[in-house]
């Protein structure tokens, strides 16, 4: 698969992690983003700031992965488990509109302004190198992300039904079996 046209930077301080997204967040970079989040959660981080100041656009797969993260956070809060917080910092109007139109904006807290001092004082900063995902991993990730968007808002079903059908069929062909990839 092609390399990601986005740069992910990770800043950590105490239990706060900030992921700065620079460029166009798309289906290939969503795999790297999901991996970074999973690693940070495994390390005990519970507060996340997703800095979108330099993110020019997000495709539906990246938005679906982000929404899936938001769903997990909401579920953890409802179960009264170790609550995670996710803040989206400085989304541009187009990204904010996409979040609203897909019915996922309510899953996040939107913040505006300069980088918080806690992030400026981050004890660790890492540039995430793009991973080399297989075609199957990319298709699976795209399918899961679109299913999440459809599960959150029934209004998304007509938008993504054909996409999920195509991805499920492609995944089934790729796996070469009668697999269970249903839309």
Q: Residue range 105-126: average pLDDT?
A: 74
Position 153 pLDDT exceeds 90: yes
3-state secondary structure 128-156: ECCCCCCHHHHHHHHHHHHHHHHHHCHHH
End-to-end CA distance of the chain: 23
Q: How far apart are CA 45 and CA 47, in angstroms?
A: 6
Burial class of 29 by CB neighbour count within 10 A (0 to 12, 13 to 18, 19+): buried
Give the pLDDT score at 183: 46
pTM (two decimals) = 0.85
74-92, pLDDT tens digit by residue?
Answer: 766 655 555 678 999 999 9
pLDDT tens-digit series, residues 15-38: 788 999 999 999 999 999 999 999
What is the chain's length? 183
């Amino acid at each position: 698969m092609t390399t990601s046209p986005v740069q992910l930077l990770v800043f950590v301080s105490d239990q706060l992690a900030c992921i700065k997204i620079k460029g166009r967040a798309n289906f290939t970079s969503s795999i790297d983003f999901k991996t970074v989040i999973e690693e940070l959660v495994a390390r005990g981080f519970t507060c996340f700031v997703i800095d979108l100041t330099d993110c020019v656009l997000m495709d539906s797969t990246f938005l679906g992965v982000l929404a899936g993260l938001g769903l997990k956070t909401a579920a953890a809060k409802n179960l009264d488990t170790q609550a995670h917080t996710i803040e989206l910092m400085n989304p541009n109007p187009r990204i904010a509109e996409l979040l609203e139109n897909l019915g996922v904006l309510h899953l996040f807290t939107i913040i505006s302004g300069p980088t918080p001092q806690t992030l400026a004082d981050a004890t660790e900063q890492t540039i995430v190198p793009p991973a080399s995902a297989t075609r199957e991993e990319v298709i699976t990730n795209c399918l899961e992300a679109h299913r999440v968007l459809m599960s959150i808002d029934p209004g998304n079903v007509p938008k993504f039904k054909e996409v999920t059908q195509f991805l499920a069929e492609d995944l089934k062909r790729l796996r070469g079996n009668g697999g269970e990839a249903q839309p």
